[in-house]
Amino acid sequence: MSLCHHPHLPLENILLPSYNTARCVMQAMSADSGLLYICGCVEEQECNDKLIFYNQSNGYSLLHSREAVPVAAISLLPPLLLALTVTGLFYLYRTHRLRKRPESWLERAAHNVPLQSRRPGHDFCRLSSSLMSASQCNISTARANSINHNTELLPIELDHRVGKGRFAEVWRAKLKHTESGHYEMVAVKIFPAQEYSSWKNESGVFTDANLKHDNVLQFITMEERGSCLHKEYWIITAYHARGNLKDYLSRHLLSWTSLLDMAGSIVSGVAHLHSDYTPCGAPKVAIAHRDIKSSNILVKSDSECALCDFGIALRLDPALTADDFANSGQVGTARYMAPEVLESRVNLEDMESFKQMDVYSLALVLWEMVSRCEAIGEVRNYELPFGSMVRERPCVETMRDVVLHGRGRPDIPDSWRRHPGLDILCDTIIECWDHDPEARLTAHCVAERFIIMRQTDCEDGSRNTNSLFNSGQY
């Protein structure tokens, strides 16, 4: 230790020797506690910065007390160097092995390597995806690796058309296994040449590595097909045989459990789009779908759905300005348009405005689902929102009269509220289609409501079970 001490007073019962020097020469002294090394200096302010020990064999040696390297660090240096050497050798070995191994088309896509080039007399396809992996698409690695995408398009045979929208047609197709001869079903969305911008926009959304989610349609790849005279643009995705939610609801009734699961999955998908973070916590760019409706939702199973059709979706990149958003125009389907969209009074300075439009449309989809749930009692024939107020394909002017001026909303009968969970869901729907955009719930809040509904459902089930036990019926 180092301290200021009066030289005429004892330290550890020892008087300091040679204290009036400019150097600190350590001297061994006997003390009650054992052998002590002591020095003293007075002439310089930092004269004890260098401690001098006398060594019988080597003369004087300096110990820089403030710059000394800890003994523990010196003893750990050899094993640390050895570990770094082993790690470096292992890295070089792995790099050498990977360079020798042929790269699959999935891996090339993951690294954004161009997968083919234009050749005279052959179709040209551009395949790009930053999120392709064996777990993200239904293509087997063995079969995918057998396709040479430097010269070939995916071996797809169109089966039949399953849908047609404003910008593109959707086909069910067979994606062949080139080695085994077997095939699997995929969906192919085909854009004509004049809808290139829509294809480009949807492809840009799909190739966002952070879009992947169980409740968002699974993307496989995108391609350019045809000749210069007849060009087509394809987006290839997973295929779901149950079709879209609109058609499914027209043919099926939902149990309360199915409604809770299917609607909850849709809400989860929307919340993921709107989130600024991935489920792992990594930053992501939020996305506004801008055309949420039952025909743009696919039914994966009796308990799960997936959002699709991102042709007019908007990436809410903080780098974009209000002018950029203004160029996006009045988009969506009139029946599902929020009041502020119908009025063309969207706050372009606030990106939350685009999320609020989605939440309004989501509320109408939830209403459609509730109207086909057995838990409400008497279930009527399926109808779209505002079905009793407007014709089949209402224009913007018609919806402006109903929603904006008349403040109309689909009817929620009192009978729907007899079920505890449905009562919460009805309140949620009303809060989501509020006329004031800022008063609406966020998609994340709606997701939390579904957690509450599940808890309510479990509590009701528990109470019912207890009552059966008490009555001796169970």
Question: Active-site residue numbers?
Answer: 291
Nearest to 432 by CA among 365, 335, 346, 343: 365
Give 338's DSSP letter. -
- Burial class of 456 by CB neighbour count within 10 A (0 to 12, 13 to 18, 19+): middle
Residue carrying the six token digits 């008497």: 378
Tokens 């939702």 appear where? 297
What's the token pair of residue 111? 């690294």
What six digits make up the tokens of 469? 């036990």
- Cβ atoms of 335 and 390 within 8 Å: the answer is yes
Q: Considering just the CA atoms, what is the radius of gyration of the chain in Å?
A: 36
Helix (H, G, I), strand (E, B) or coil at 287: strand
DSSP notation for 143-169: HHHTS-TTT----EEEEEEEEE-SS-E
Query: What 3-state DSSP class applies to 273?
Result: helix
In terms of C-beta density within 10 A (0-12 exposed, 13-18 middle, 19 or more buried), how is residue 160 classed? exposed
Backbone angles phi, psi at 196, to 5 degrees: -55, -40
How many C-beta atoms lie closer than 10 Å to residue 224's C-beta?
Answer: 18
